[in-house]
Amino acid sequence: MPFNLPGQAGDTLITEAQPRSKTNRHSVLEMAGRYGYILPAIIIVGVITVLPLLNTIIISFQSYKLARPQDREFVGLANYLTLFSEPRVGTAVTNTVIYTLVTVITSLVLGLAIAILIQGLTIGKPLLRAIFVAPMLLTPAVVGVMWRFLLNAQAGIFNYFSSSLGFGNPDWLGTPGLAMFSIIVVDVWQWTPYVFLVMLAGLESLPQEYLEAAHIDGASSWQRFRYIVLPYLTPLLLIATLFRFTWAFRGFDHIYTLTQGGPGNATETLALSVWRTGFVGLDLGVASAISVVMMLVLTIFSLVILRSLSRQLKS
C-alpha cells in the first residue's frame, strides 16, 4: 500500500531500549508523565472547541436574545420548530445544498483533470504546478473582495471583456441566480488547487510499470484511467471529498465578502444564516439551533466517508 494511513499497524512500539528515566517505568508517575505530553493539546481543544460546542447545544434549547440576556429560559424544541416554519431557513437549506454539491463536484473533476494534464508534461512542470497551487492558501476573505473588484458591474475587468464581446454588462453579484453562480466560481477557483495538489501527489506515486504493462497488453487510455488510475486514486479522492465538502458546507468568508448572502437572501447559506440570525438579528437560540443542525449533517457525512475510506483500505 503506497498510502500511509493513520491508525494502522506500527502504532504501538515495543522495544528493548528505554530512555533513562528517574521513575520506574511501570509506576503511576511514569504513566502520568506519558499523559503529560498530550494533556495540553487535549485541554486547549477541549476548552476552546468542545465546551463551546456543548454550550451551543444547550443554547439551542433556550430562548436567548442578545439584547435581553436576562430573559434567557428553557424552551424545549421551540427553536428547532422555528427553523421548519421559517421560509428564510428553507431557502438557506436549498442554497447550501446547491452551493455545496456544485462546488465540490466541479472542483473534484477539474482538479483531477488538471492534475492529469500537468502530470504528463515533460517540461515546464514545476512552474505550472506552482500556478495551479497558488490560489489555495490565499486569504479567503481577500479572495472574496478581490473577485468583487473583478466582477464589479462598472469597473470590473470581467465586464470589460463581456461588453467587448457583446454580452453587455451583467450585474454578477446583484442578480439572484447569477450571484450564486459567481460565488460558486470563486469557491471553485480557490479550492480546485487543493484537489489538484492532492491528485498530482497521488498520480506521481502511481508506479509507472502498471500503466506500461497495461499499455503493452493493449489497454486504451480510457481503460488505463478507468481500471488502473481511478481505483488507485480512490482513497485520495475520498479524503479530498471529505475536506472539500466540509469547507464548502461551512463556508463563510467567500459569501460574506462577496454578497453577505444577498441580493435579498439569494446566496444565504446556513453558515451565513447563523451569523445573520445570531449577530445581526441577535437571536442566539435560533442561531444555535441552525448550527447544531449543521454539525449533525457534517458528522453524518464525515462518518460515511471515513467508513468507506477504511473499507477501501482493507480491500
Partner 1 sequence: MKTRGPLRFVRLGFAIILAAIYIFPLYWVVITSFKTYREAFTLPPIFFKLPDFSSYTTYFAQPDIARYLLNSLIATGVSSVLALTIGVMAAYALARIHIPGGESIAFFLLASRFIPPVSTIIPLFLTLRSLQLFDTLIGLILVYMAMNVPYVVWMMRGFFKDIPIEVEEAAWIDGCSRRGGLIRVVLPMVRPGLAATSVLIAVFAWNDFLNALILTSSQAKTLPLSIAAFLGEGGIEWNSLAAAGTAIMMPAIVFTVLMQRHLAQGLTLGAVKG
Residues 120-139 that bind partner 1 (CB under 8 A): 120-124, 128-139
Q: Does 239 bind partner 1 (CB under 8 A)?
A: yes
Query: CA 133, 139, 140 angle in degrees (round to 5)?
Result: 90
Does 141 participate in binding partner 1 (rule CB under 8 A)?
yes
Cβ(80)–Cβ(60) below 8 Å = yes
Instruction: Find all residues with CB under 8 Å of 264, minimum gap 6, and list them.
Output: 176
Q: Which of 99, 180, 184, 224 binds partner 1 (CB under 8 A)?
A: 224
Between 86 and 148, whose beta carbon lies closer to partner 1? 148
Segment lying near partner 1 (by CB under 8 A), choices 89-97, 100-108, 170-178, 281-289: 281-289
148, 170, 181, 234: which one contacts partner 1 (CB under 8 A)? 148
74-103: contacts with partner 1 (CB under 8 A): none
Q: Is 218 left (phi over 0), alpha (psi -120 to 50) or beta?
A: left
Query: What is the three-class DSSP state of 217?
Result: coil
For the chain, give the longest Cα–Cα distance.
Answer: 81
Contact flag: residue 287 with partner 1 (CB under 8 A): yes
- What is the rounded (10 degree) CA torsion for 173, 252, 202, 298? -130
Contact pick of 9, 26, 28, 37 for partner 1 (by CB under 8 A): 37
CA distance linking residue 50 with residue 56, whole number of Å? 10
Closest separation between CB of residue 240 and partner 1, Å?
8
Nearest CB to partner 1, comparing residues 180 and 292? 292
Place of cell 460515511: 304
Binding part of the chain for partner 1, among 77-85, 89-97, 143-151, 165-173 by CB under 8 A, reads 143-151
Neighbours of 45 (CB within 10 A): 11
Binding residues for partner 1, rule CB under 8 A, total: 110
- One of 28, 35, 74, 315 touching partner 1 (CB under 8 A): 35
Identify residues 1-30 at the interface with partner 1 (CB under 8 A): 2-7, 10-15, 17-21
Instruction: Specify the residue, 24 or 208, whose C-beta has the smaller distance to partner 1.
Output: 208
| Whole-angstrom distance, CA of residue 72 vs CA of residue 173 | 38
Q: CA geometry: angle at 301 spanning 295 and 305, to 5°?
A: 140
Q: In a 3-state reduction of DSSP, which class is residue 73?
A: strand
Among 23, 160, 231, 304, binds partner 1 (CB under 8 A): 160
| CB-nearer residue toward partner 1: 4 or 85 | 4
The Cα 192–Cα 104 span in angstroms is 9
Among the listed ranges 77-85, 92-100, 170-178, 194-202, the one in contact with partner 1 (CB under 8 A) is: 194-202
Could you give the 3-state DSSP secondary structure of residue 74?
Answer: strand
